[in-house]
């Protein structure tokens, strides 16, 4: 049977991010199709399983030397497994290791996960804005080195993947030759779609950290205290800067509830209860959260982020360019369950066409066959 090795920084059991979830869903689907699937990532936990869902898990030390990035460890796994296909979905030294250390015969795949991927320089302005001068002076050299190594390797990948048409255009401008392959999700047989009846629930899901701008969701809830609806935030608190605003919102906003970290296997139930999903993130690749909402017929209101114009042009939700506009559009949707129902049904049908796991793995297997 063919062997595929996923090389990335984390497994979703260690860090529940969008890229990690996508990697694991692909890995499980390949395993179901009879592939010998291996997955290598950082994990220091002594109780971490060595096999899960029929997939062999290989572990590397966490927080390795920034210049080396566990290169020797990846090389050992690569030599032991001898994969036919190597898949990578980050943009750091693991991209360099995955592609540079892959066997000569292997089909190498690099999947772009974030809008800044593929560029050496793209994250430097954000680094300047969020770090002190001392921190910036240390991190800028490190960041440029790591992203330079990742870029050189990603350009050599036999298959280069993008999540959206916008990302295809951006990557082509950066010298890549990407193929569009949408993010993939299973459609559970017991999944329920929102009927848009009863008291509305406005949902926000993601890592609670600066880049996601969770404080804007708190502001939205505060603006809407006179409405009969509930604002729920779910996600792991990941930075100290977001801790104080979150605690203040919990104390002061009676219409707000923080659900904390919700495991991926049960977060779908939270989406099923939502009437509207909101996004306040500063930048994204293609948000898994959008797909999970659309699967369940939940309209989206997003601040500034509109992948492929699916909100503004395709009518799968609403795009707002300011907090005032976001509040206005939220109030209008909350007052009109029939419109929510109409948008939700269109979104559900779109999700079934574009984000089906089995159809997307069929396409990926075809791409692999073309390069073997």
* Model confidence band, residue 211 (pLDDT cutoffs 50, 70, 90): confident
Dist. CA 172–CA 122, nearest whole Å: 15
pLDDT at 187 over 90: no
Query: Mean pLDDT across the chain, nearest whole number?
Result: 95
Dist. CA 283–CA 286, nearest whole Å: 10
Q: What is the pLDDT of residue 28?
A: 97
Dist. CA 340–CA 295, nearest whole Å: 14
Domains annotated on the chain, with CATH: 3-184+356-370 (3.40.50.2000), 201-354 (3.40.50.2000)
| pLDDT tens column, 232-272 | 999 999 888 999 999 999 999 999 999 999 988 889 999 99
Q: What is the pLDDT of residue 174?
A: 98
Question: Which residues on neighbouring strands pair with residue 342, listed in sequence order?
Answer: none
Dihedral pair phi/psi, residue 304, rounded to 5°: 80, -25
Q: What is the pTM of this model?
A: 0.89
pLDDT at 284 over 80: no
DSSP H helices, 101-202, are 124-130, 133-156, 165-173
Q: Which has the closest alpha carbon to 205: 252, 259, 135, 164?
A: 259
Asked if residues 233 and 208 have their Cβ atoms less than 8 Å apart, the reply is: yes
| pLDDT tens column, 344-365 | 999 999 999 999 999 999 999 9
Rg of the Cα trace of the chain?
Answer: 21
Dist. CA 211–CA 279, nearest whole Å: 11
Q: What is the pLDDT of residue 22?
A: 94
Residue located via tokens 């190594």? 149
Quick one: how many helices (H) and strands (E) in the chain?
13, 14
pLDDT at 16 over 80: no
- Rounded mean pLDDT, 283-309: 93
Within 10 angstroms of residue 227's Cβ, the number of other Cβ atoms is: 16
Q: What is the pLDDT of residue 130?
A: 82
Asked if residues 2 and 66 have their Cβ atoms less than 8 Å apart, the reply is: no
How far does CA 84 lie from the centroid of its chain?
Answer: 26
**3-state SS assignment for residue 303:** strand
Both tokens assigned to 269 = 């139930």
- Rounded mean pLDDT, 222-232: 97
């Amino acid at each position: 049977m063919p062997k595929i090795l996923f090389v990335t920084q984390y497994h979703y059991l260690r860090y529940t991010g969008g890229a990690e979830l996508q990697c694991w869903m692909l890995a499980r689907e390949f395993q179901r199709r009879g592939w010998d699937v291996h997955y290598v990532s950082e994990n220091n936990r002594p109780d971490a399983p060595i096999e899960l869902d029929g997939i062999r898990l290989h572990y590397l030390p966490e927080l390795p030397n920034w210049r080396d990035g566990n290169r020797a460890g990846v090389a050992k796994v690569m030599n032991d497994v001898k994969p036919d296909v190597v898949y990578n979905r980050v943009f750091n030294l693991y991209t360099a290791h995955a592609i540079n250390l892959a066997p000569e015969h292997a089909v190498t795949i690099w999947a772009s996960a974030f809008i800044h991927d593929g560029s050496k320089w793209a994250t430097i302005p954000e680094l300047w804005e969020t770090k002190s001068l001392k921190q910036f002076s240390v991190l800028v050299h490190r960041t440029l080195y790591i992203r330079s190594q990742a870029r050189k390797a990603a350009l050599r990948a036999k298959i280069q993947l993008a999540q959206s048409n916008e990302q295809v255009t951006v990557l082509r401008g950066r010298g890549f030759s990407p193929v569009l392959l949408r993010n993939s999700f299973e459609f559970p047989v017991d999944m329920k779609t929102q009927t848009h009846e009863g008291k509305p629930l406005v949902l926000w899901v993601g890592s609670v950290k600066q880049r996601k701008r969770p404080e804007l969701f708190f502001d939205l809830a505060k603006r809407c205290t006179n409405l009969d609806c509930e604002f729920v935030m779910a996600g792991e608190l990941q930075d100290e800067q977001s801790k104080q605003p979150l605690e203040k919102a919990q104390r002061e906003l009676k219409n707000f509830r923080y659900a904390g970290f919700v495991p991926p296997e049960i977060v779908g139930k939270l989406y099923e209860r939502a009437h509207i999903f909101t996004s306040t993130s500063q930048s994204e690749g293609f948000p898994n959260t959008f797909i999970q909402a659309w699967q369940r017929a939940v309209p989206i209101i997003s601040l500034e982020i509109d992948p492929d114009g699916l909100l503004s042009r395709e009518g799968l939700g609403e795009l707002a360019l300011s907090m005032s506009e976001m509040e206005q559009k939220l109030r209008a949707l909350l007052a009109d369950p029939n419109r929510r129902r109409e948008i939700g049904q269109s979104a559900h049908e779109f999700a079934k066409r574009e984000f089906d796991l089995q159809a997307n793995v069929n396409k990926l297997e075809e791409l692999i066959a073309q390069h073997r």
